[in-house]
């Protein structure tokens, strides 16, 4: 966020309306850390950059652990394994990906405007 603000000035953070994002504790964390949130109306076009990030996160995960559903121990063990792997997979995403992603937001917003929201 600091790097983004250095280049663009004051910034807002936008996330979707998933319950974990709108929970009191989550909103309080953003407030405590001085991060302004932009409203995200229901059923709005998806402009949330994290959606693009999931692809980058899942790709190495599938390569590393394509048999994750076959892990013995059921859902709890699968969850534990994912908790071990996801931070490692996150670390494989280069900073350049995130920079390219946030620099593309203006053109993506323009495309949505040109398409009249669709």
Question: What is the full DSSP assignment across 26-74?
Answer: HHHHHHHTT--EE---TT-----THHHHHHHHHHHHHHH-TTGGG-TTH
Yes or no: say if 50 and 70 are a contact pair by the CB < 8 Å rule: no
Q: What is the CA radius of gyration of the chain?
A: 17
Residue 23 per-residue DSSP state: S
CA 105, CA 60: separation in Å to the nearest integer? Answer: 25
Domain ranges of the chain: 1-44, 48-118
Q: What global pTM score does this model have?
A: 0.54
12 close to 36: Cβ distance less than 8 angstroms: yes
The yes-or-no verdict on residue 94 having pLDDT over 90 is yes
Q: Among 13-27, 38-52, 79-93, which range has the highest average pLDDT?
A: 79-93
Backbone angles phi and psi of 107, in degrees to 5: -70, -35
Neighbours of 89 (CB within 10 A): 19
Average pLDDT over residues 28-53: 76
Confidence (pLDDT) at 41: 61
105-114 vs 95-103: helix crossing angle, rounded to 10: 40
Position 43 pLDDT exceeds 70: no
């Amino acid at each position: 966020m600091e790097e983004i603000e250095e280049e663009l000035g004051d910034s807002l953070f936008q996330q979707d309306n998933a319950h974990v994002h709108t929970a009191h504790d989550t909103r309080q964390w953003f407030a405590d850390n001085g991060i302004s949130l932009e409203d995200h109306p229901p059923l709005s076009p998806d402009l949330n950059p994290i959606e693009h990030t999931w692809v980058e996160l899942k790709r190495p995960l599938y390569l590393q652990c394509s048999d994750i559903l076959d892990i013995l121990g059921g859902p709890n063990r699968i969850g534990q394994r994912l908790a071990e792997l996801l931070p490692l997979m996150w670390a494989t995403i280069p900073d350049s990906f995130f920079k390219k992603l946030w620099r593309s937001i203006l053109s993506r917003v323009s495309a949505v405007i040109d398409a009249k929201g669709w």
